[in-house]
Amino acid sequence: MRPSWLVTHTTTLAIRLATSIIRPLRSKIGDAPLTNLFDNLPDRAENESVEALLARPDVRIERIVSYGHTTPADSPYDQDHDEWVLLLRGSAGLWLDGAGERDLRPGDTVLIPAHCIHRVTRTAANEPTIWLAIHFCRPESP
């Protein structure tokens, strides 16, 4: 069972994404090339692949491809912005401070609030693990 705060925040983020990013882009798409997140996957490498799909002052959308990669236990993430992730393919383990470790499978989403210490404990070793990550950045103050 997913905590109600997670469902509420995930729904809110999805609505915010649709209204603040997708709709304004519709008028600009025109002849933009069609892309597929499962095409042109990088080969296995020492580090996971992080590809920016969209970058604006308030949001960054990334495709992340992992092949057995993890976050070192002594170097967890502590970001100053919220991050929403969707596991598209493969499997992963994600540890969140205060919530513990959870197993992720395709279709699972997680909202990681700003300054929530977290790390990836495992990703599938025998296939690519593909993530869609949306970072809700805070624009720099003038």
Q: Can you tell me the distance from the alpha carbon of 9 to that of 85, in angstroms, rounded to the nearest whole number?
A: 12
Q: What is the CA radius of gyration of the chain?
A: 16
Q: Domain range spanning residue 109?
A: 36-136
Six token digits for residue 107: 């279709």
In a domain, 96, yes or no: yes
In a domain, 78, yes or no: yes
Total domain count, the chain: 1
In a domain, 86, yes or no: yes
Which among 89, 91, 142 is positioned nearest to 120, based on CA atoms?
91
In a domain, 123, yes or no: yes
27-45 mean pLDDT: 79
State which amino acid sits at residue 30. G
In a domain, 7, yes or no: no
- Give the CATH number for residue 88: 2.60.120.10
In a domain, 74, yes or no: yes
Residue 121 is predicted with a pLDDT of 98
Which among 59, 105, 100, 96 is positioned nearest to 77, based on CA atoms?
96
Per-residue model confidence as pLDDT tens digits over 122-137: 999 999 999 999 999 8
* pTM, two decimal places: 0.75
